[in-house]
Amino acid sequence: MINDILSYEFLQNAFLSGLIIGVIAPLLGLFIVVRRLSLIADALSHVALAGIAGSLYLSQQVLFFAALNPVYLGIASAVGGSLLIEKLRGAYRHYEELAIPVILSAGIGLGAIFISLSKGFGSDLIGYLFGSVSAVSRQDLFIVIVIAIIVITYIRFLYKELFALSFDAEYAKVSGINSRYIQMVFMIIVALVIGASMRIVGILLVSSLMTIPVAAAIQLAKSFKSAMIYSIIFGELAVIIGLVSAYYLDIAPGGTIVITSIVILLVVLAWKKMQGGRNARMVKGELV
Amino acid sequence: MTTNLIQLDDVSFNYEQSIALDHISLEVGEGEFWALIGPNGSGKSTLINIILGLLQPTSGSVKLFGSDIESFKHRERIGYVSQKSNSFNSGFPATVLEVVRSGLTRKVGMFKSFSKKDEQRTLEALSIVGMDSYAKRNMGELSGGQQQRVFIARALAGEPDLLIMDEPTVGIDQQNVASFYSMLNTLNREHGIAILLVTHEIDLVTDLATHVACLNRTIHFHGKQSDYKKMEDDDVSRWYGHPVRRVHQQTDEVER
């Protein structure tokens, strides 16, 4: 496997992209989960689908789009979707969550129209839907690196504000934190991470890599910092095991990555349950 | 001349067609401990939300530390503890230290990280509320009373001059309520922090407060605690909307 990675550029691209995504997706996912916004990632990935399908369709019609990496239009539509969600949340103050299914449906609807209009881009589209080991280009890797730099810079410099906003949004507002601005940028960053991850994990499974490692991490973490570290470790484990098995089994990496992260979650839950039982018995004096 | 920490001039607020607050004027000065009392639906939380800038008054003006609320920049001078603190997500993965330190976010400023000094200040705030030994504990492991102390420590971390609390004892058992109020008394008397406390617990609080404001859409009384105590129970019952019999539990009257 190591020899293959050293020999083939497409494997280098896939593994490097995967390792980077294994850090940034759960890192941002932690803020999404604790703010109970998990469905937003789902909605934005479906909007990205509309962009990808639109770009693939236009590439059959317009010469300019034939040369354009569909990831760009996927990212642009996810960013547009994130801004629309924010706008809609403002319009429905008492039903803020309504914005999510509206945008999600719009994404699927547009995606379905572009897919129906096109004259077959089956294998291309499957790669975008479920991820692909072989389809990650140097340009895709470059996009992932740029997005990772943006995400890490954002979290590094606004960590305090993001924590305050995640823990208690009302207190953050009262204490003078510019929550509206931070929230707006946060949504754009989520869209960028979805754009970066879709080549490897696939549009339909990208939100899983942002939430499942976090779901396992918060079972173990006592502090926010440790939740962050556990999320990244579980994300990396899922990506590495998922990519290696996808390569050997010749299947879509999105599926193997997500199933690996589900297995990690189940192991953590089982371990937590065993620990709980052990502690209860220690209290009763059955164990020394 | 001293500046009022809070100055409300003729403030009114309407929820669509109904009047929630009707021409409220109130001044909170340095080092004062105000108890804002009133029945359910009297507009207490609405008034607090206006003071905090979460709601805009329909008419009237709000000044904080002498500045109009719109131009008031020093939010760190105000510490806030809401009644919602009692219903926070106990599964949130955060230590007591992380939560209290978040109270310094605005003071430290954007794009900067917390320093060792900030950590020290956080521990000092925890020590004021008697929770310094819990710094590394997960928030979800604490009792309701302990969590509320942590939220007060968060409000104190920025070294505020004014502490605003909206029914902070909701959901806390009676024994912890007494020690909680005793801690507020210490914060006010020994640390000189002005307090505006919204509460239902008329008897417990009016013995601690230096000043009392009685609200039921409009202010029916505001003034020194000693003057409030001189009011007849019948007068209190009249504006409160149902019979009230006050029992004063403490004998040392606060006159400042």
Nearest residue to A234 (alpha-carbon basis) of A253, A260, A271: A260
* DSSP letters for A83-106: HHHHHHHHH-TT-GGGHHHHHHHH
Note the pLDDT of residue B47.
Answer: 94
Could you tell me which residues come within 8 angstroms of residue B231 by beta carbon, excluding any fewer than 6 positions away? B221
- Terminal-to-terminal C-alpha distance of chain A: 46
Provide the shortest C-alpha distance from residue A151 to chain B (in Å): 14
Q: From the list A160, A171, A224, which residue is nearest B93 (CB)? A: A224
Provide the shortest C-alpha distance from residue A155 to chain B (in Å): 10
What is A13-207's CATH topology? ABC transporter involved in vitamin B12 uptake, BtuC (1.10.3470)
Interface residues from chain B to A (CB-CB < 8 Å): 52-54, 73, 75-76, 78, 80, 82, 84-85, 88-89, 91-95, 98-99, 102-103, 105-106, 108, 110-114, 136-138, 154, 158
H helix and E strand count, chain B: 9, 10
* Any B CB within 8 A of A268 CB: no
What amino acid is encoded at B152 in this protein?
I
pLDDT digits (tens, 9 = 90+) for A75-131: 999 999 999 988 888 777 777 778 889 999 999 999 999 988 887 666 678 888 888
Q: Residues B147, B88: contact at Cβ < 8 Å? A: yes
pLDDT digits (tens, 9 = 90+) for A1-50: 677 777 788 889 999 999 999 999 999 999 999 988 888 889 999 999 99
Note the pLDDT of residue B251.
Answer: 41
**Residue numbers in A near B15 (CB within 8 A):** none
Average pLDDT, whole number, for chain A?
A: 89
Could you tell me which residues come within 8 angstroms of residue A209 by beta carbon, excluding any fewer than 6 positions away? A21, A22, A25, A26, A29, A197, A201, A235, A238, A239, A257, A258, A261
Note the pLDDT of residue A74.
Answer: 92
Q: From the list B73, B94, B105, which residue is nearest A224 (CB)? A: B94
Q: Which of A222, A230, A234, A269 to mutate to test the interface with B (most CBs of B within 10 A)?
A: A222
For residue A165, pLDDT beyond 90: yes
pLDDT digits (tens, 9 = 90+) for A225-254: 999 999 999 999 999 999 999 999 998 899
For residue A284, pLDDT beyond 80: no
pLDDT (mean) for A138-143: 92
CA distance A92 to B96: 34
Q: From the list A157, A171, A176, which residue is nearest B111 (CB)? A: A157
* Any B CB within 8 A of A279 CB: no
Could you tell me which residue, B10 or A65, shows the higher pLDDT? B10
CA distance B229 to B205: 12
Note the pLDDT of residue B256.
Answer: 46
* Number of other residues whose CB lies within 10 A of the CB of residue B248: 12
Q: Residues A195, A78: contact at Cβ < 8 Å? A: yes
A163 → chain B, closest CA residue: B102
Note the pLDDT of residue A10.
Answer: 85
* Any B CB within 8 A of A222 CB: yes
pLDDT category, A283, cuts 50, 70, 90?
Answer: low
What amino acid is encoded at A70 in this protein?
P
* Number of other residues whose CB lies within 10 A of the CB of residue B39: 15
Q: From the list A161, A218, A223, which residue is nearest B105 (CB)? A: A161
DSSP B4: P
Provide the shortest C-alpha distance from residue A223 to chain B (in Å): 4
Q: From the list A157, A163, A222, which residue is nearest B102 (CB)? A: A163
* pTM summary value: 0.87
Q: Residues A44, A101: contact at Cβ < 8 Å? A: no
CA distance A61 to B146: 65
- Domains of chain B (ranges; CATH) run 6-88+161-240 (3.40.50.300)
pLDDT digits (tens, 9 = 90+) for A196-220: 888 888 888 889 999 999 999 999 9
**Residue numbers in B near A173 (CB within 8 A):** 54
Q: Residues A13, A223: contact at Cβ < 8 Å? A: no
Q: Which of B84, B102, B136, B162 to mutate to test the interface with A (most CBs of A within 10 A)?
A: B102
pLDDT digits (tens, 9 = 90+) for B141-183: 988 888 888 998 999 998 899 999 988 877 677 777 787 888 8
* Burial status of residue A193 (CB atoms within 10 A of its CB: 0-12, 13-18, 19 or more): buried
Q: Tokens 């604490």, residue? A: B142
- In which order are the strands placed within the sheet that holds B59-64? B18-28, B6-15, B59-64, B67-68
Note the pLDDT of residue B170.
Answer: 76
pLDDT (mean) for A158-186: 91
Q: Residues A126, A252: contact at Cβ < 8 Å? A: yes
Domain ranges in chain A are: 13-207
For residue A282, pLDDT beyond 70: no
ipTM: 0.86
Q: Inter-chain contact A218–B91, Cβ cutoff 8 Å?
A: yes
Q: Which residues of chain B have pLDDT under 70?
A: 1, 84-87, 171, 242-256
Nearest residue to A164 (alpha-carbon basis) of A179, A145, A181, A149: A179
Q: Could you say which residues from 231 to 260 on chain A have a Cβ atom under 8 Å away from some Cβ of chain B?
A: none
Note the pLDDT of residue B164.
Answer: 95
pLDDT (mean) for A138-152: 94
Helix (H) or strand (E) holding B63: strand B59-64
**Residue numbers in A near B137 (CB within 8 A):** 222
CA distance B216 to A145: 59
CA distance A70 to A65: 8
Q: From the list A170, A173, A223, which residue is nearest B93 (CB)? A: A223
